[in-house]
Amino acid sequence: MTSFAQSDYSVIKGNVAEKNVNITIINTSFGVSSDDNGDFIMMLPKMENKVGLLFSCIGYEDTLVSVIPNRDTINLNFKMKKTTYMLDAVGVSADKIRHYSDPKYVMFDFEIFDDKVFVLQRKGNSMKECRILVQDLWLDAIDTINVPKHIEPKKIIIDCTESCQLIGKDSVYQVVKMNDIYKLMFPTEKSRYNKVLKDIIFFTDKYIYFNELQMNGYVSNFFRISKEVKTKEMMFVCNDMESYRNIKREEEWHRAYLEQLPSTFGGAFPTPEEWAVFVKVAWYHTKDNHLDVIDDKLYYFDHFNSKILTYDEGMNLLNECEITYPTKEDFWPHKIYKDKALGKFYTIFGSTVNEIDVMTGKTSAVANANQWMTEKIIIHKGNLYAVTKKRDAFNHFESYIERIVID
């Protein structure tokens, strides 16, 4: 087994001028908190790759700091900045921003359906006291759907059939409008629902389109089945097994590294599983190629080869362009957003929401959004909607939903 010495780790320490600031490796549960003086200390294996540290605290803006832990000691000293709004429009006046919160409820998911905003909320930390707040597109409340205690809701989605579904612990319930009142109806076993709609991404008049993921998403097979003749046609394949193997090697190395550490270091380092999660997100993320449709045209965002391809349904290539947004940059969230009503695509990099020109691959900034604070973003009819949820060192939540006019 490899032998490790004290010089194999880097000490990250500093002061953030506030107590109870959570410092975590992004997208993992591993982290520390600042003490009463604002001081903190954590240790990481030495490496030449970037590691993202997220500094968060209620009442202050989340701050993402990238470090390369290749030295014995790294000092980070700065003052946390008080927050106002988590999202601000780029070049948009304040009167185009709407904000809604309810101190009694935590918002943990939302969807837009039937030109209404459906916000899934729970009372405090209890999953037994949940409701769906129905708002208009201006975030004014118009209705409430009480969720029975036995459902234990996990999320709310718009599925490939364009239906709004509440996903519970064991069952799925459809949100249906009856006599101008929204209700939860047609319960279906969760396992059966997932089996029937598994891998389907969208329908057209002629085809059903699928994305079959394998090897934890490092292999994706895009194909379609003709509704008329029921034949399967393979369209695109993305194979990134090299990244998958790199994650496994990192996890094994880190496990061996921890086994060599003195017992006095217990809890000071992330677990092998936590480290593998970080490595996947920051260094070897799945490429998350994206296939979508607008007005009978198919758009394939090929992040593996950094191209956007446009086809008609006969699979005739209409346009090809290079992607200019940073698909290989650390901490890009690998997410494409579509405004179906306006036929536009967006992505986030850095702290900016950018519209993607699918003909040129170029982007233009339309809004600011701190991706590490925002739970979910939906863009609908030229408006950006986002739910933000934060937890402080005392396990208390603050959450709200915002709407910003971007088009």
Average pLDDT, the chain: 86
Q: Is pLDDT larger for residue 62 or for residue 240?
A: 240
Query: Which structural domains are found in the chain, ordered by start?
Result: 6-77 (2.60.40.1120)
Look-up of token digits 């088009």: 407
pLDDT level of residue 3 (50, 70, 90 thresholds): very low
Q: Give the C-alpha separation, 111 to 163, whole Å.
A: 11
Record the tokens describing residue 7, joined without a space: 């010089």
pLDDT of residue 228: 93
Q: Give the C-alpha separation, 311 to 22, whole Å.
A: 47
Q: Is the model's pLDDT at 167 over the cut of 80?
A: yes
pLDDT tens for each residue of 323-376? 988 876 656 778 899 999 999 999 988 678 899 999 999 999 988 776 656 778
Task: Give residues with Cβ within 8 angstroms of 93, minimum separation 6.
Answer: none
Q: Give the C-alpha separation, 24 to 20, whole Å.
A: 12
pLDDT tens for each residue of 248-290? 888 888 888 778 766 666 566 777 887 788 788 777 888 899 9
109: burial class by Cβ within 10 Å (0-12, 13-18, 19+)?
A: buried
Comparing CA positions, the residue from 222, 219, 223 lying closest to residue 240 is 219
Q: What is the mean pLDDT of residues 384-394?
A: 72
Q: What is the mean pLDDT of residues 15-34?
A: 84
Q: Is pLDDT larger for residue 322 or for residue 387?
A: 322
Q: How far is CA 120 from CA 175, 219, 263, 361, in A?
A: 12, 32, 44, 35
Share of the chain above pLDDT 90, in %: 52
| pTM across the whole model | 0.82
pLDDT level of residue 87 (50, 70, 90 thresholds): very low
Q: Give the C-alpha separation, 327 to 53, whole Å.
A: 20
pLDDT of residue 400: 87
Residue 14 CA from chain centroid, whole number: 29
DSSP per-residue letters across 5-44:
-GGGEEEEEEE-SSSS-EEEETTSS-EEE--TTSEEEEEE
pLDDT of residue 90: 56
Q: Is the model's pLDDT at 4 over the cut of 70?
A: no
Comparing CA positions, the residue from 281, 380, 289 lying closest to residue 332 is 281
Q: Is pLDDT larger for residue 29 or for residue 219?
A: 219
Whether 210 contacts 225, CB under 8 Å: yes
Q: Is the model's pLDDT at 85 over the cut of 50?
A: no
pLDDT tens for each residue of 126-145? 778 999 999 999 999 999 99
Q: Is pLDDT larger for residue 40 or for residue 43?
A: 40
Q: Give the C-alpha separation, 400 to 407, whole Å.
A: 22
Q: Give the C-alpha separation, 282 to 380, whole Å.
A: 29
Share of the chain above pLDDT 70, in %: 87
pLDDT of residue 116: 97
